[in-house]
A and B are shown apart, each in its own frame.
Chain A
Amino acid sequence: MSGKAAFKILRGTSQGVEFEQYETPISEGMVVLDAVRQIQADQIPDLACRWNCKAGKCGSCSAEINGIPRLMCMTRLADLPLEKPVSVEPMKAFPLIKDLTTDVSWNFHVKKKIKPFKPRPPDASDGTWRIWQEDIDRVQEFRKCIECFLCQDVCHVLREHRLQSEFIGPRFLVHVAGLEMHPLDIEDRLEELKTAYGVGYCNITKCCTKVCPEEITITDNAIIPLKERVVDRFYDPLANLLRKFKK
């Protein structure tokens, strides 16, 4: 692979944006982030974008490439049609700061509101616990999350319906699932899941699972089991009846 490719990059601030087109030389193995950085170095030094590790591990360079939420560092040019310009835009679910950067601070506020990890007392006299690998396989899947927020970006509850005040989004449902299914955790978050976290808003379109660069099965492994736990607690008619009798 060699020659040049064209990139249509959305530039601007909340005051207004427009696509600008740039050409840059390409070579074998290049990813979109390489092209964006090259354009930055050679043509527009003040092009705003975030990136850190360039290896798909930090989740900083989230963007929408040809309309699909992806990490720029893990999107190879060889996998994109280069006959027409590659479009690169910021995530749409969050307020724009400048060019490819958005204000993702809402995510940090949400996480702070989630009840933290609370372990049971240690199992052994030296203050340690005994945990079996098969009991943590699923939690470890959730803990692969690199907080790129692409799942939040694609979630229509946040992207289209803008229900940020009522729904914590797939990223934090995965986080809650990681806590709820942690074998040591004894906190109870089901009431919050039903109310403040808004798990009921998810209608299982699985868009989040599709865009997850860590391939976490967000909907099937995290969200649906949480929904089931909420249903068991609050909507099981038999349990409700029993609760009434107990009162």
Chain B
Amino acid sequence: MVDSQEFEYDVLVIGAGGAGLRAAIEASAEGCSVGIICKCLLGKAHTVMAEGGIAAALGNVDDRDNWKVHFSDTMRGGQYVNNWRMAEIHAKEAPERVRELEAWGAVFDRTKDGRILQRNFGGHKYPRLVHVGDRTGLEMLRTLQDYGIHQGIEVHMERTVVRLLKDGDGSRVCGVIVYDREKGRFQVFRAKAVILATGGIGQAYQITSNSWDCTGDGHSLAYEAGAELIDMEFIQFHPTGMVWPPSVRGILVTEGVRGEGGILLNSEGRRFMFDEIPDNYKHQTADNPEEGWRYTQGDKEARRPPELLTRDHTARCIVREIKEGRGSPHGGVFLDIAWIKEKISHSEEHIKRKLPSMYHQFKQLAGIDITREPMEVGPTTHYIMGGIHVDADTQMSTVPGLFACGECAAGINGANRLGGNSLSDLLVLGKRAGEYAADFARENNLGSIGGEQVEEAVEMALEPFGRDNDPQNGAENPYSIQNDLQKLMQHNVGIVRKEEEIQCALEKLDLLKERASRVHVPGNREFNPGWHTALDLNHLLTISEAIAHSALERKESRGAHFREDFPEKNPDFGQCNYVTIKGPEGNMLVRSEPIPEMPEELKAVIKEME
């Protein structure tokens, strides 16, 4: 049943988005044999969807910027429940990682003096985002891909991991079992170290900016292997996704629109973002439209417009406007960039040059010309701050031999991620994951796969074919369960949460799990998306449960986690993270863990930047 051919690598990377590729490149540079397994074709990962830019304190546009400002911005944005060590490493190393990309062929937009241009973004004090128009993720992924294919890395495309495999005594991860999409064959990959770089979980929600493949595989595989997850209650709802027409609902509208001067308006034409500015951002936010505009045009004396407050806050303001009846016709609010024609000549060409994909996207999918009319936007599930609990320096999970980086790992973002920090995170921490996985591989052998893990995994994966196919007897369609799950999470564990609704979600998740055990798929194993959906469902159900449990525990509102029944921040909860782990009886356990004390020198940095 399993292909007799086995693959062996020093370091095996799961996922070929930015984090996976960067990790693979580093492990390979360290002299390791490296394999990559990816669910899609190479170069299609969700990283291509990143639009705005890479946050790195190069100080090219404003020389007051440096790692200390970036570090403080990241901690403030994350409401201080971030892992401060990761935020420190990230802020210090991001500039070098960006310069490296240029040496590998990336072509970023330029300043007038020929250096890398940087743009404004929410929560960043100075213009910090390195970018290429609004297709930065594509540029980055393609650069890593085109460099990576010449580094001796072997890429196994369109393969999905069914289970992580552990050695005889279960002490470490030493391989994976996968199926390939084309033929449905099972294959075993053995490795001295395994790096998870599987991205996000957006497909657990109905309205999302995420690709089909963002089904939380890494989170769930690590959990099943005994690793800890952390911060799972923190899900970022990006304030601006498309809302109309229905078929494109959720598709991302880059924050870059606001960075370039775009404003948010309600149905009364009011710039509602001025109505509520959080205390800790008051001193750095403009109090009139004119100052906000000057900020977007590079005036160093001006403070940023309220549209560039953090994503959690902006999303909630939009929800408030819609709830109170001041929304746009299709249940969003208006995002207007066309207005800048009052300020600059040739605004049409300017918008098309700065935001080409946005122009294209609205023109083609909604029939709207953004250089002439406002867009309709609303919040969309975008990013999970929570994920696999890793060591800040090495990116190793709580299970030896298992590393994680990128969106599936957690810590750096705390309760809310700043735009642009994900691309820099995956470069900085992806590189570190590769480096330390290589170290681990040097000190360990291949290990032997213990027990019947392979046989069990195959049996589990094939179950949907063998089940009763008659709906009269309870046979279920995987797509309809996924649909119901997405609706449940959207409504009960979405932007605004409360105890009864989360409790109800947990009960309904049990019912969905029971239904999932009756999923039947027709056809055979060759390229069968029904089968793939049935297997992805298990991951989605696991992570949804982790999200709901953690959301229930955090009885306060912080960052992206908003509890209607506890609308205020509670300092006690600011001292801890929530950790999710699989209990001895297979039940999910959630406990709080104190955040380690920040060293004096970092406290001083934060104080200095206030």
- Interface members, chain A 50-70 (any B CB < 8 Å): 50-60
How far, in Å, is A178 (CB) from chain B's closest CB? 8
B361 sits at the interface (CB 8 A): yes
The 8 Å CB contact of A143, one of B103, B132, B155, B157, is: B132
Interface centre among A31, A54, A104 (most CB of B within 10 A): A54
A131 sits at the interface (CB 8 A): yes
How far, in Å, is A21 (CB) from chain B's closest CB? 19
Residues of A within 8 A of B103 (CB): 119, 122, 127
| Of A109-117, A156-164, A224-232, the one with at least 4 CB within 8 A of chain B | A109-117
How far, in Å, is A146 (CB) from chain B's closest CB? 7
How far, in Å, is B131 (CB) from chain A's closest CB? 11
B182 sits at the interface (CB 8 A): yes
B599 sits at the interface (CB 8 A): no
How far, in Å, is A40 (CB) from chain B's closest CB? 6
CA distance A14 to B134 in the complex (A): 40
| Of B312-320, B454-462, B520-528, the one with at least 4 CB within 8 A of chain A | B520-528
Residues of B within 8 A of A51 (CB): 212
A136 contacts B107, C-beta separation under 8 Å:
yes
B529 contacts A55, C-beta separation under 8 Å:
no
A29 contacts B245, C-beta separation under 8 Å:
yes
Number of A-B residue pairs with CB-CB distance less than 8 Å in the complex they form? 168
CA distance A57 to B157 in the complex (A): 19
Residues of A within 8 A of B109 (CB): 133
A13 contacts B142, C-beta separation under 8 Å:
no
B46 sits at the interface (CB 8 A): yes
B602 sits at the interface (CB 8 A): no
CA distance A68 to B40 in the complex (A): 24
A74 contacts B527, C-beta separation under 8 Å:
no
B104 contacts A29, C-beta separation under 8 Å:
no
CA distance A45 to B41 in the complex (A): 21
The 8 Å CB contact of A40, one of B105, B147, B365, B529, is: B529
B135 contacts A74, C-beta separation under 8 Å:
no
Residues of A within 8 A of B132 (CB): 140, 143
A108 contacts B212, C-beta separation under 8 Å:
no
A interface residue count range (under 10 / 10 to 19 / 20 to 34 / 35 or more): 35 or more
B44 contacts A132, C-beta separation under 8 Å:
no
B523 contacts A45, C-beta separation under 8 Å:
yes
B interface residue count range (under 10 / 10 to 19 / 20 to 34 / 35 or more): 35 or more
B522 contacts A143, C-beta separation under 8 Å:
no
- Secondary structure of the A side of the interface? loop
| Of B215-223, B403-411, B476-484, the one with at least 4 CB within 8 A of chain A | B476-484
Contact of A130 with B113 at beta-carbon distance under 8 Å, contacts A45-B478, A54-B251, A143-B139 already known: yes
A33-52, CB under 8 A of B: which get 1 and which 0?
01000001110011111111
A41 contacts B527, C-beta separation under 8 Å:
no
Contact of A52 with B523 at beta-carbon distance under 8 Å, contacts A29-B246, A45-B530, A146-B138 already known: no
B603 sits at the interface (CB 8 A): no
B531 contacts A58, C-beta separation under 8 Å:
no
Interface centre among B360, B480, B529, B533 (most CB of A within 10 A): B529
A10 sits at the interface (CB 8 A): no
B105 contacts A128, C-beta separation under 8 Å:
no
CA distance A53 to B208 in the complex (A): 11
A97 contacts B527, C-beta separation under 8 Å:
yes
User: Which B residue sits closest to A75, measured CB to CB?
Assistant: B364
A101 sits at the interface (CB 8 A): yes
The 8 Å CB contact of A57, one of B49, B113, B247, B523, is: B49
CA distance A49 to B212 in the complex (A): 12
A133-177, CB under 8 A of B: which get 1 and which 0?
100100110011011000000000000000000000000000000
Interface centre among B42, B114, B530 (most CB of A within 10 A): B114
A240 sits at the interface (CB 8 A): no
The 8 Å CB contact of B142, one of A47, A103, A143, is: A143
The 8 Å CB contact of A46, one of B43, B149, B528, is: B528
The 8 Å CB contact of B147, one of A34, A54, A117, is: A117
Residues of A within 8 A of B211 (CB): 52-54, 58
Q: Shortest 10 CB-CB distances between A and B: which pairs?
A: A29-B245, A45-B530, A46-B523, A130-B114, A117-B105, A41-B479, A48-B527, A52-B211, A46-B528, A98-B527
**26 A-B interface contacts by CB (under 8 A):** A29-B244, A29-B246, A30-B247, A41-B477, A45-B478, A45-B522, A45-B533, A48-B526, A50-B41, A52-B46, A54-B248, A55-B49, A55-B251, A58-B48, A74-B364, A98-B527, A108-B41, A116-B105, A116-B146, A122-B103, A129-B102, A130-B115, A131-B114, A133-B110, A140-B133, A147-B43
> Which positions in A face B, CB cutoff 8 Å?
13, 27-31, 34, 40-42, 45-60, 74, 76, 97-99, 101, 103-105, 108, 111-112, 116-117, 119, 122, 127-133, 136, 139-140, 143-144, 146-147, 179, 182, 184-185
